[in-house]
Amino acid sequence: MSKVALITGATRGIGKQIAITLSKEGYDIALNYRKENDELLNLKEQIENSGVKCLTIQGDISNFEDCEKIVKQTIETFEIIDVLVNNAGITKDMLLARMKEDDFKQVIDVNLVGTFNMTKNVISYMMKARQGRIINISSVVGISGNAGQSNYSASKAGIIGFTKSLAKELGSRNILVNAVAPGFIETSMTEVLKDEVKDEIAKSIPLKRMGTPEDVANVVKFLASGDSSYITGQVLQVDGGMLM
Q: Counting Cβ atoms within 10 Å, is residue 11 exposed (0-12), middle (13-18) or buried (19+)? A: buried
pLDDT tens-digit map of 210-230: 999 999 999 999 999 999 999
Quickly list H helices, 35-147: 39-48, 64-78, 101-107, 114-129, 141-144
Cα 196 to Cα 95, 192, 209: the distances in Å are: 22, 12, 13
| Cβ atoms < 10 Å from Cβ of 228 | 18
**Which three-class secondary structure state does DSSP give residue 181?**
strand
pLDDT at 196: 86
- Give the mean pLDDT of 104-108: 98
pTM over 0.85: yes
Alpha-carbon distance of 224 to 136, in angstroms, equals 11
Q: Decide: 110 and 90 in contact? Cβ < 8 Å.
A: yes
Residue 31's beta-bridge partner residues? Answer: 7, 56
Model confidence at 1, pLDDT cuts 50, 70, 90, reads low
Dmax over Cα atoms in the chain, in whole Å? Answer: 53
Quickly list H helices, 171-212: 188-191, 195-203
Alpha-carbon distance of 57 to 14, in angstroms, equals 18
pLDDT at 179: 98
Q: Which runs of E-coded beta strand occur in 127-213?
A: 132-137, 175-182
- Please give the share of the chain, as a percent, with pLDDT higher than 70: 99
Alpha-carbon distance of 38 to 59, in angstroms, equals 17
Active site residues: 152
- Single-letter code of the amino acid located at 191: E
- Give the mean pLDDT of 163-172: 98
